């Protein structure tokens, strides 16, 4: 596939603005061609207007049509093969194995949402039949279900060019609920984004879906993102990225004449608590696993463990220091992320009482490499300096020496909202630190026992969310089938004739879905 660098406004290719966005190979410090066109205000408006028109017909299509569309997108993406993987690795510096794994994850979640749409019970249909003879007042016939919300704006993530970007989970869940999508490509991987977008549009044509069911715009200027969020047709936003950018989108959406919600996943420190029994049993294994988790993808995962609290940690700390000294510098996604990583490290290293152990191998600046670094502090320093609890995006972690249940609890109370929290321990540890689990459940969306947070399984029971600042709404997930609930809303139909009801709410259950009928959850007619 030869890239053209233009915006895709529905089925139309458009290049009204300047070709001012250039991708960059961070492993080679070399620019990539072609240049990509920044979307103009008229192109953004056209994409939003087309999405609004498409929403009127897409929402009335059978659920099977959305399922077929998602399956076809997976086929089109897979068919791109080596050229897609080559562009992915060139734009990110990530290894080819990671690119292939992420493509498999992306096509897998597209098919997962296709199955969800095809089965149909996600609409949460509820029926209460009329009781005309009820006294003192008759009861009306009431039927409620979730319906499509409307056009969704999706923002590509820098660290997952496929799984959290153009054809990622936000787009898949929006399509499964039969909503059009307008996606803004991340400027760090515009080529990968164009290839994925063209696969989506090929699938839309093959499925005879309306023009405007999907559009892709490019933009490095924040004004492009804000204009998209402010378009009156947009009903919700899916975002994965930094706290600063996510909050800017959230604020813009809140200030619209008709406020909408931004479902922003903004990363977190993902604290790990290592209790005494676990250290006594397997200190070296925990240290090895922690080093691998911190350095996975050069620390550029939203679930990277950035804080570790350990009890009786002297041998454990010594082992960790050795492992970080031996760690190999690796390429970050682009120079801007590397600069942010280095400035974040410097900020924490400047705090009194913080010690630092870094890789003894020098990073290659020509390959945009970051140096893995272990920071250490005592509990008193951590409690006295709130900045030590802030995320540093990259291959580093802060080990806090913490030697009592009361100390662990004090640390947990200081934590901000996080995507994950982890406990390494034994059954006896959990008994003696019982309140720690409750404290962490109030601050994280996923709690792990004897594991590491990197690696998010894509399945119905996964929750990838958490209290602010990890996300803007802790009630929702951006991974797993429950992600569809962000892009739907309930509607109740009162006293409607059968012929005018959605098929999911009709007597006889023609859709063959699970429903709550007169208070009973049933698959029966």
Catalytic site residues?
265, 302
Among 148, 204, 155, which residue's Cα sits nearest to residue 176? Answer: 148
Q: At which residue do the structure tokens 């490095």 appear?
A: 220
User: Are 219 and 183 a contacting pair, CB within 8 Å?
Assistant: no
Among 514, 516, 512, which residue's Cα sits nearest to residue 142? Answer: 516
Q: What's the token pair of residue 441?
A: 């459940």
Looking at the DSSP bridge assignments, the partners of residue 24 are 31
User: Are 146 and 29 a contacting pair, CB within 8 Å?
Assistant: no
Contacts of 79 (CB under 8 A, 6+ apart): 199
Query: What are the start-end ranges of the H helices in 269-404?
Result: 276-295, 314-326, 335-349, 379-384
Among 65, 82, 86, 75, which residue's Cα sits nearest to residue 108? Answer: 75
Spatial separation of the C-alpha atoms in residues 385 and 382, rounded to whole Å: 5
Q: At which residue do the structure tokens 């996080």 appear?
A: 418
User: Are 355 and 320 a contacting pair, CB within 8 Å?
Assistant: no
Report helix, strand and coil shares of the chain as percent, to nearest 5. 40, 20, 35
């Amino acid at each position: 596939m030869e890239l053209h660098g233009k915006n895709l406004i529905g089925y139309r290719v458009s290049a009204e603005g300047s070709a001012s966005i250039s991708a960059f190979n961070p492993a080679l410090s070399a620019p990539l061609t072609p240049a990509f066109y920044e979307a103009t205000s008229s192109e953004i408006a056209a994409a939003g207007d087309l999405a609004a028109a498409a929403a009127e017909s897409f929402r009335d299509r059978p659920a099977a049509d959305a399922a077929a569309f998602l399956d076809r997108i997976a086929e089109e993406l897979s068919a791109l093969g080596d050229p897609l993987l080559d562009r992915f690795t060139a734009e990110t510096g990530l290894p080819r194995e990671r690119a292939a794994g992420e493509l498999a994850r992306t096509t897998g979640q597209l098919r997962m949402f296709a199955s969800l749409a095809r089965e149909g019970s996600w609409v949460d249909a509820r029926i209460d039949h009329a009781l005309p003879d009820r006294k003192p007042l008759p009861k009306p016939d009431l039927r409620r279900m979730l319906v499509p919300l409307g056009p969704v704006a999706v923002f590509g993530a820098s660290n997952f060019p496929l799984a959290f970007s153009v054809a990622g989970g936000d787009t898949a869940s929006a399509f499964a609920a039969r909503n059009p999508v307008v996606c803004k490509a991340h400027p760090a991987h515009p080529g990968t984004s164009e290839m994925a977008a063209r696969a989506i549009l090929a699938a839309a044509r093959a499925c005879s879906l309306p023009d405007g069911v999907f559009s892709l715009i490019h933009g490095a200027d924040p004004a492009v993102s804000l204009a998209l969020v402010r378009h009156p047709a947009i009903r919700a936003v899916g975002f994965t990225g930094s706290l600063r950018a996510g909050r800017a989108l959230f604020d813009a959406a809140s200030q619209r004449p008709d406020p909408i919600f931004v479902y922003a996943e903004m990363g977190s420190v993902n604290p790990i608590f290592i209790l005494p029994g676990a250290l006594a049993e397997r200190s070296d294994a925990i240290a090895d696993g922690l080093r691998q988790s911190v350095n996975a993808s050069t620390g550029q995962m939203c679930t990277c463990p950035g804080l570790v609290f350990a009890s009786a940690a002297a041998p454990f700390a010594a082992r960790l220091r050795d492992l970080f000294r031996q760690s190999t510098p690796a390429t970050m996604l682009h120079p801007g992320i590397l600069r942010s990583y280095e400035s974040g490290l410097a900020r924490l290293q400047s705090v009194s009482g913080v010690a630092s152990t870094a890789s003894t191998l020098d990073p290659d600046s020509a390959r945009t490499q970051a140096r893995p670094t272990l920071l250490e502090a005592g509990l008193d320093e951590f409690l006295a300096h709130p900045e030590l609890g802030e995320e540093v995006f990259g291959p580093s972690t802060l080990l806090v020496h913490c030697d009592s249940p009361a100390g662990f609890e004090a640390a947990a109370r200081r934590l901000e909202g996080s995507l994950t929290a982890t406990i390494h321990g034994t059954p006896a540890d959990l008994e003696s630190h019982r309140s720690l689990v409750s404290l962490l459940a109030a601050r994280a969306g996923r709690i792990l026992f004897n594991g590491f947070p990197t690696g998010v399984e894509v399945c119905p029971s996964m929750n990838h969310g958490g209290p602010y600042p990890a996300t803007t709404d802790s009630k929702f997930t951006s991974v797993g089938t429950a992600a569809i609930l962000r892009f739907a809303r309930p509607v109740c139909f009162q006293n409607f004739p059968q012929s005018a009801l959605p098929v999911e709410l009709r007597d006889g259950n023609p859709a063959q879905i699970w429903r709550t009928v007169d208070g009973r959850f049933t698959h029966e007619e």
